[in-house]
Structure 1
Amino acid sequence: MTAVERRQRRAVPAPLLVLTAIASVQVGSAVARTLFDDLGAAGVTLLRLAVAALVLGVAFRPKVRTWSAGAWRAAALLGLAMAGMNLLFYLALRTVPLGVGVTVEFLGPLLLTLAQTRRVAHLLWALLAGGGVALLGIGGGVTAPPAGLLLAFAAGLCWAAYILASAHLGTLVPGTGGLAAALAVAALIVLPFGAPGAAEVLTRPQLLIGAAAVALLSSVISYGLEINALRRMPTRVFGILMSLEPAAAAIAGLVVLHQRLGLREVTALLLVSVASLGATLGSR
């Protein structure tokens, strides 16, 4: 048995890394929502990305001087996807419950799965997911305004780009150094939008504790686990596990934010999750 094989046998299973990342990022999102009144959604986004970039940069000290032009482009693309994904999603969370927001956002990875397979049967999964999201926009007691749902969907498109860009960067840059650079790029992109709100920590330093917790839960831990898991599993398997995201978000929203979803919202969550699971399983 080679040294590489021995390391692989001792390594934590890749699916467990993904499940841990799911729990971490959703708890982090719930904590982030509690900071919006003080820092604003864009301010929380900036602090999350900046703190995460600083932590990973100090911890791993990526050797950026040795990177190829292709590695830099991959890191920049990942940073762009992360900036859009995080900023748009946090803006959506101002008016949309966490479970509902993640349900709509999850259409991005689902569309990615469908685009990678192009099977006729997947049209049924797409219709099932579309029906689930449509449930969120009908009825008299709608808790999620259309603007918030559109922001969550746009964040989902960035999420799909993040999956592809993260997998690509992981093949070019070893370890987690590439993630640190991508987070720095994302922070620079969000800086013009989040600087006014983030400046509040200068007069109220205690807010930095919550922002640091969000950075650790939603970026450092979750992204680090995901990028390492994507090195050891195909994106199809990754997509199967990510089908649990809406349910994890609903639980985090209930426990941390006391957001109770109605029957319509829960049904929509289940329909989108089942559609994602079915489409991903059928992409073998």
Structure 2
Amino acid sequence: MRRSSAAWIAPLIGVVLVLASISSVQLGAAIGKSIFDEISPAGLTFVRLLLAAAVMLAVARPRPGGWARSTVLDVVAFGAVLGTMNLLYYASLERIPLSVAVTLELVGPLAVALLHSRRIADVAWVLCAAAGVAIIAAQGFEGSLDIVGCVLALLAGACWGGYILLSQRVGAKVPGLSGLSAAMLVGALVALPFGAPAAVAAVAASPAVLGPAALVALLSSVLAYGLELLALRRISAHAFGVFMALEPASAALFGFLLLSEHVGALDAIAIALVAIASAGVAITATRARAPRAVTGPVDLPDGMPPIP
């Protein structure tokens, strides 16, 4: 009886942890967008990455002196993509609703997943995602959505795709969280020239802004990543990938609750199409992987990772 109970309790806890991670990421993003009047998107990006890097470095204590040159280059590239992705993503949030930005950004990892697939059935998921993006793009060209914001979100998604590939390479070369923590510092350095002046000015004008900025770093980076690692020890990576398709819906919920962002009918259809495509790719993935403890950058099947 105890064994049968444990057999379903562990996955159930894993599901709760995944949902908590998704909520943590999107709550952090919503809080971040809510303070754009006090600190610019670039300034918030810099503060978030810097604070998150400080926590991660204290926990992981990387020793790059013992790394091979190729490993160092991979970590630097990983961090550069991470920093650029966050700059683009927060810049898009200033122009378009949170749920739309998350939906468009999800196209990046979805594209990587599909590029790694040779299944004919995945053509349907390509068409499904393309239809969702086309609906959003049409609204952008009609003027109901900011087209520049949409482009920024898509570029952030492209960076997310690069993040996936580099995360896998770094995770294979550097044990534990050392590679990610070092990459986080590189990301903060990438954001420094764009965000540091704005961050300093914002803090000088209102020191209290550091509170919500620190909360964004905690929710969207440190806490979310820890919850993801715990979840992946209890559920399969494929199941995790399916649940990650809930990101746009979570973004819509927190956008409504904290930012009063209403999702129109067309936006809801577009979000649903991209989410269905993401879940479909994860469900139909056939490449099995042996269960293992996850201690480094998350490596999900066919390139479906969490939001960093």
What one-letter code is carried by the residue in structure 1 that aligns with 2:188? A
- Please state how far the C-alpha of 1:180 moved relative to its aligned partner: 1.6
Q: Is the 8 A contact 1:125 1:279 kept in 2?
A: yes
1:205-264 alpha-carbon deviations (Å, 9 max, x no partner): 111111100111111122344467678987655432321111111111111111110111
Counterpart for residue 295 of structure 2:
none
Normalising by structure 2, we get a TM-score of: 0.81
The structure-2 alpha-carbon separation of the partners of 1:71 and 1:118, relative to structure 1 and needing over 3 Å to count, comes to same
- Alpha-carbon separation, structure 2, partners of 1:270 and 1:77: 33
Which position in structure 2 is the counterpart of 1:264?
Answer: 266
Give SS of 1:206's match.
helix
Q: Match of 2:276?
A: 274
Cα separation, 2, equivalents of 1:234 and 1:164: 20
Q: CA separation of 1:23/1:189 partners in 2, compared to 1, >3 Å: closer, same or farther?
A: same
1:158 maps to 159
Match of 2:299 in 1: none
CA gap of 1:36–1:213, structure 2 versus 1, over 3 A, is same
Residues 109, 239 of structure 1: 8 Å contact kept: no
Q: Could you report, residue by residue, the CA deviation over 1:49-82 in whole angstroms, capped at 9, with x for unpaired residues?
A: 0011112222332233333334323322221221
Give the counterpart letter for 1:212 in structure 2.
A
What is the match of residue 246 of structure 2?
244
Cα distance in 2, alignment partners of residues 61 and 231 from structure 1: 23
**Inter-partner Cα distance in structure 1 for 2:34 and 2:145:** 18
Q: Distance in 2 between matches of 1:233 and 1:80?
A: 31
The offset of 1:159, in angstroms, is 1.2
RMSD over equivalenced CA pairs, Å: 2.6
Deviates more, 1:46-55 or 1:121-130: 121-130
Note if 1:184 corresponds to 2:208: no
Distance 2:28 2:147 in 1: 24
Q: Deviation of residue 128 (structure 1)?
A: 1.2
Q: C-alpha deviations, 1:88-126, integer Å up to 9, x for none?
A: 010101110000111111111110111011322222211
Q: Which residue of 2 aligns with 1:219?
A: 221
Compute the displacement of 1:163 (Å): 2.3
Equivalent pair of 1:137/1:146 in contact (CA under 8 Å): yes
Indicate the SS of the match to 2:158: helix
2: CA distance between counterparts of 1:233 and 1:65?
35
8 Å CA contact retained: 1:167, 1:227: no
Q: Assess if the C-alpha contact under 8 Å between 1:95 and 1:148 holds in 2.
A: yes
Report the CA distance between 1:142 and its aligned residue. Answer: 5.0
8 Å CA contact 2:104–2:153 kept in 1: the answer is yes
Moved more, 248-257 or 235-244: 235-244
Amino acid corresponding to residue 206 of structure 1 in structure 2: A
Q: Give the whole-Å Cα distance in 2 for the aligned partners of 1:197 and 1:225.
A: 31
Q: SS at 2:138's partner residue?
A: coil
What aligned pairs does 1:18-167 form with structure 2 within 5 A after superposition? 18-138=18-138, 143-167=144-168
Matching residue of 1:6 = none
> Which structure 2 segments of 5+ residues have no match?
1-8, 287-308
Distance 2:146 2:175 in 1: 42
Greater Cα shift, 123-132 or 183-192:
123-132
How much does 1:14 deviate?
Answer: 5.9
The 2-side partners of 1:65 and 1:182 are apart by 15
Does structure 2 conserve the Cα–Cα contact (< 8 Å) formed by 1:106 and 1:156? yes
**Deviation of the 1:42 alpha carbon:** 0.4
CA distance, structure 1, for counterparts of residue 206 and residue 212 of structure 2:
12
Check whether the contact 2:50–2:188 (CA below 8 A) recurs between aligned residues.
yes
**What are the ranges of 5 or more consecutive residues in structure 1 without an aligned counterpart?**
1-8
Q: Structure 2 CA distance, aligned partners of 1:175 and 1:18?
A: 20
Provide the rounded CA distance (Å) in 1 between the counterparts of 2:227 and 2:137: 34
